[in-house]
Amino acid sequence: MSKPPYKVVDLFSGAGGLSLGLEEPARLNGLANLAYRDISFEEKAFESVLAVENDDDTAETFRRNFDSEVIEKDIREIPSFGEWDDADVVVGGPPCQGFSNLNKTKTEELEDERNTLWRHFMRAVDEIDPDVFLIENVPRFLKSAQGARAVEIAEDMGYTTVVDTLWAHDYGVPQKRKRAFVVGSKLGVPFFPEPSDTRTRTVEDAIGDLPDEPSGENWHVPRQHVTELSKKRMEHVPPGGNRTDIPKELLPDCWIDKRGGTDLFGRLWWDRPSVTIRTEFYKPEKGRYLHPEANRSITIREGARLQTFPDDFEFVGARTRVAPQIGNAVPPKLAYHLGQALKAHLEGEDSQIIPDADTEHEIFKKSFPIGEEKQSQLAAFD
């Protein structure tokens, strides 16, 4: 069995949210007023040896922050991953836009070509043969035939595979973000971390120390070229409010009779976690992205804080290219807790399958999470 640091291949790496939480979690200590302290492994636990990222600016962001080989290429153009067969862990988030809830196609009818990129993730797993792999995606992935097929393929490769969905705010992230995960292991029954924090981190914890008037420094920049009409609309939206608080004469015709969409042109609350930070979080027309007090959208830095990227993390690209890097990432704080579970499993910790767990497909299984309640859970199972 290998010893730490465990070698990691990060596919569809993006800016490196997963790799940061695995390799350099101590960089989160002291971030804003989130009270992150003692975030670290006793020794270096993981080391990124390869990242694969197709977007040029995003690949350069990864290079600036990690001492890892980066292949800037479409994964479909990489003929073999056999060169990295000494890696212990393969992680990644195959592009999820095709599975997003914003895509209204019925789950079973999804044919977006991005939905097939998980096959290349599994190809890499087959060629590298790591002890453990981790897939991150939107929850809809675990309702799809593609998600079930990915797990079926992993099982055929000899992996014991478990799935679950996690809420980021349960792990100290100041954001209500729900994501699906698949973990496969050749060492036994893998598991997910139990929720780590009893205290819910809020928008104020994350960005309350930043000036209401953006400084323009270190990505504390809002959306540019805001119209006077948009500014008037913002003035009518109270904390927690949305487009329904705006006088009818200021609304576009398409909003007047629109049903649902309560986050549209919404304002964040200071005392709650934010909504999911997506790729265009600097546009209030895309969701609840108005600052809790100031009449503007949240800045790039504020979005990064809500995703738990430290202020010294270096982003490369124009504002409209950096926002997707932030919105697409796994929050590093959540990645750290996933890393704790992976490390414990790599070092011999094992779980048990939950019998009759409620899942979308028969092939999916859930295991008991490992944490402070582990012994009582397993004792009850026995």
List 15, 96, 151, 316, catalytic entry? 96
Query: Could you tell me the two tokens for 340?
Result: 């704790």
- Residue carrying structure tokens 């576009």: 252
Determine if residue 35 is left, alpha or beta; phi over 0 gives left, psi from -120 to 50 gives alpha, anything else beta: left
Residues 361, 312: Cα–Cα separation, whole Å: 42
Provide the strand spans (E) within 111-228: 132-137, 160-167, 178-185
- Residue carrying structure tokens 């990645």: 335
Specify whether 254 is catalytic: no
**Residue 50 belongs to what H/E stretch?**
strand 46-52
Cα 211 to chain centroid distance, Å, stands at 26
Closest CA to 189 of 152, 225, 160: 160
Residues 18, 33: Cα–Cα separation, whole Å: 22
The residues annotated with a catalytic role in the active site are 96
